[in-house]
Amino acid sequence: MTDFGFVLLASDGAARRGRLSTAHGKVETPAFMPVGTAATVKGMTSEMVTSTGAQMVLANTYHLMLRPGAERIAKLGGLHDLMHWPGPILTDSGGFQVMSLAELRSINEEGVTFRSHIDGAKVTLTPERSVEIQNLLNATVTMAFDECTEWPVTETKAAESMRLSMRWAGRSRDAFVARQGYGIFGIVQGSAYRELREESAKALTGMDFHGYAVGGLAVGEGQETMFEMLDVSTPHLPNDRPRYLMGVGKPDDIVGAVARGIDLFDCVLPTRSGRTGQAFTRQGTLNMRNARHAEDRDPVDQDCECYGCRNHSRAYLHHLFKAGEMLGPILLTAHNLTYYQDLMRDIRSAIEAGQFDEFANSVPRHDKAKQAHR
């Protein structure tokens, strides 16, 4: 079985072209992971996800522990068998969802106790239990349990939150069951405070994680601040480990983060947008519900090779959304994921050619796209 490891193949400035090797296959980086929160990328079969060019997907500890349950998934052979997805799977630890979705939560040194948003059942999630659940799911990449610091937040509260997450990171690392080809990532926190981000990054590297994520961003602080926090975080992370920016984002967010040394991304934006009629194209963002598309024979994107763009017009997509037909969201989700995977492929090629800056300047801003964190 393949060891879990990361090799740097090329660089252009701080932008990195790498390869992540895992028990479930290799991932060429920079890479974007479609979000399959509840063991499904909404509206897509695994074969459809693969056809977009995706190499790795994300699922979520919080949602899967509540339904259908980690022990049940383990009995069914783990997430890979359940989803019919043979490639690598990264599982979010559940910390963000506990903070954003759970009801009547209370937090202390041990962990978080909350009531399920599904049925109100009382649940306690600790770093050890989060890692255990991810092991039961057979996640290729386990994420350390953390508190996603609220925004806005005072520096004092951000420091308390970050240091709690660092203590939880140590417990998560200790609870991880080492297996060939599997890894666990620590998560840099510290909100929008430079010194806290640096402290967090240095603390995590001392724990020797297999990879490092930057969390607690894209929560309302704005792109400029997000980039500033990456600028202060990534220089303190090891060059020989993958770096993952959680819950980001728009195409220009991704390009800017790659320029600051990030290798892995996830976001619900392309799939959520696909379900609401918003298309990402090489010319910018389109709303397929707009009347101007009603008689347009062109594909959504002339340069896209997805099934929808090869076989259907903007007029047809417009009709499907106006008629409330489920095929509209399916086709547009597949298109948006294909756009994101094409973007990542082009980023990799640009880094290899030493032309990343030139490529980055050519990527259109998608200002109409509403950022959707995790």
What's the whole-number mean pLDDT along residues 66-84? Answer: 98
Residue 314 has pLDDT above 70, yes or no: yes
What's the whole-number mean pLDDT along residues 76-80? Answer: 98
In the chain the domains, ranked by start, together with CATH numbers, are: 31-268 (3.20.20.105), 274-362 (no CATH)
pLDDT for residue 115: 86
**Residue 243, strand partner residues:** 212
Least confident interval from 101-115, 138-152, 309-323: 101-115
Work out the mean pLDDT of the chain and round it to a whole number.
95
pLDDT for residue 369: 74
**Residue 284, strand partner residues:** 281
pLDDT band at 374 (very low <50, low <70, confident <90, very high): very low
pLDDT band at 129 (very low <50, low <70, confident <90, very high): very high
Conformation bin of residue 266: beta by default, left when phi > 0, alpha when psi is -120 to 50:
beta
Residue 70 has pLDDT above 50, yes or no: yes
Q: Give the up-direction half-sphere exposure of residue 341: CA atoms within 13 A in the CB hemisphere.
A: 24
pLDDT for residue 370: 60
pLDDT band at 372 (very low <50, low <70, confident <90, very high): very low
Return the percentage of the chain with pLDDT > 70, whole number: 97
List active site positions: 92, 266
The CB-based long-range contact list for 356-360 (8 Å cut-off, 24+ gap) reads: 356/12, 356/13, 356/15, 356/258, 356/259, 357/12, 357/13, 357/259, 359/255, 360/255, 360/256, 360/258, 360/259
User: Using one digit for the tens of pLDDT, what is the confidence trace for 198-231?
Assistant: 999 999 999 999 999 999 999 999 999 999 999 9
Give the whole-angstrom CA distance, residue 212 versus residue 193.
Answer: 18
Predicted structure pTM score: 0.97
pLDDT band at 102 (very low <50, low <70, confident <90, very high): low
Q: Considering only residues 138 and 1, tell me which one the structure prediction assigns the higher pLDDT.
A: 138
